[in-house]
Amino acid sequence: MRHFISQSLIMAELQPQHEVEPQLLNGDDLNEEREDADAPESVKKKRRKKKRNKTAAPVCDFAAGTNEAEGGGEAGGVGDVTKQLELQTLEDKEREEDGEEDGDEGENSAGKKKKKKKKKKGLKGQTDPPSIPICELYPNGDFPKGEECEYPPSKDGRSAAWRTTSEEKRALDRANEEMWSDFRQAAEAHRQVRSFVRSWIKPGMAMIDICEKLEDCSRRLIKENGLKAGLAFPTGCSINHCAAHYTPNAGDPTVLRYDDVCKIDFGTHINGRIIDCAFTVTFNPKYDRLLEAVRDATNTGIRFAGIDVRLCDVGETIQEVMESYEVEIDGKTYQVKPIRNLNGHSIGPYRIHSGKTVPIVKGGEATRMEEGEAYAIETFGSTGRGAVHDDMECSHYMKNFNVGHVPIRLPRAKHLLNVINENFGTLAFCRRWLDRLGESKYLMALKNLCDLGIIDPYPPLCDIKGSYTAQYEHTILLRPTCKEVVSRGDDY
């Protein structure tokens, strides 16, 4: 009796537990569902996995128990396998969903890293003011291309479109990719520097401060490294009637004024591949028409330039466009004149003027442009005589590219030449740059090198006083497949 009671009691205790348990489970499920609605995604995933573990074990145990009870019957075995397959399919689907969510989260978590990498590759990573070198912004070496144009048709009307599809020309283009890449890196540095300069240049600033601020930024972005990368020539900031080759020497008090017309002409280089590019800054809108005339003339020259084009034909088209403009300044009307003794030029490695000139008036050389060459297409417009002469104190100097060995007696001149060879080679430099290197009392030595023909001076070039001159310039590459205006930007 005692045994029977205890047995019945045990059964009674066990029975309610067996009935209540599913209700508790269901209650937990409901609570979890309610919590899932408000829980973050990561918590939801953990709970789903937990739920799968809870439901998976009892089903498998139940299937095993059925097989044992039925003696491993065939029908029961097939049913169990089907259930297991269904369960596995559901689990696989959930895992895939979780995987996608994890992938999304992975993208979100790793996205910042990815974005950072993108920032290194693109302009978005640049600071304000610019300080990150271009080679670090584009670590894969894929620098932005300039404006790619089809070559102009020949005089007999034949199109040059075949160059873009010719496999031979494409192969030649690829063979020179390293050279094009150097030009593009230097051009991107130029674009970012000039954009920076436009953001702060204003009347009242000393010209020497403008040049030094520009050059400091340019050195950072080009990542100056001896003769491998750096500034190609001193910053020209010629004002009004002075058209070119003026940069302030130490102690120059010149200040930029509201009514000035200032030509900003500076260059960058990578491995001697030079970008020569210039623009004009004005604050008074009365000069807008003058700037428009010169910009249009430069773009016309670029448009007509191409492989096998005669240099004199380019000059003729430039003159025609520029002289079609008239400007009114302070109640007086002027026809814009091209400055006939200034011109564009071919560019060689470490050589800013490599032999060919691109005139801006008719009657120049009949020499033709050739495939693979680089040119600076620059035009100067003036309200004066349309011709310039040497004037003012000299600041620009450059070693003669073709000079051989010349005996030098003066020890100071020998030392100065060593400094020039080491820091500038055959690239142009200015007195401010010698000061920056710590050189002093070098004027006599510099004059001696000039007298010997080792160094050439390039004094400022000026039209008549009271006139205004403007300049625009771009560097173009005559690639086998197309013409690339490598220094082209959103500004001009």
Catalytic residue numbers?
265, 276, 345, 353, 378, 473
DSSP for residue 455: E
Do the annotations mark residue 353 as ligand-binding? yes
DSSP for residue 152: P
How far, CA to CA in Å, does 239 sit from each of 194, 236, 384, 460?
17, 9, 14, 10
Under 8 Å between Cβ of 280 and 471: yes
- The three-class DSSP label of residue 49 is helix
Do the annotations mark residue 415 as ligand-binding? no
Whole-number Å distance between alpha carbons of 460 and 242: 7
State which H helix or E strand residue 221 sits in. helix 207-222
**Angle at CA of residue 145, ends 142 and 150, nearest 5°:** 140
DSSP output for 264-304: EEEEEEETTEEEEEEEEEESSGGGHHHHHHHHHHHHHHHHH
Whole-number Å distance between alpha carbons of 340 and 285: 26
Please count the helices (runs of H) and the strands (runs of E) in the chain.
Answer: 13, 18
Expressed in angstroms, the distance from the first to the final Cα of the chain is 109
As given in the structure block, the two tokens for residue 342 are 């200034």
Do the annotations mark residue 29 as ligand-binding? no
Residue 39's φ and ψ, nearest 5 degrees, are: -75, 155
Do the annotations mark residue 473 as ligand-binding? yes
Residue 467, number of CB atoms within 10 A of its CB: 20
Identity of residue 190: H
Residues 415, 416, 421, 422: is their CA dihedral positive or negative?
Answer: positive
Do the annotations mark residue 212 as ligand-binding? no
β-bridge mates for residue 348, sequence order: 351
SS in 3 state form for 229-273?
EEEEEEEEEEECCEEECCCCCCCCCCECCCCCEEEEEEEEEECCE
Going by the annotation, the residues of the binding site for substrate are 245, 353
Going by the annotation, the residues of the binding site for a divalent metal cation are 265, 276, 345, 378, 473
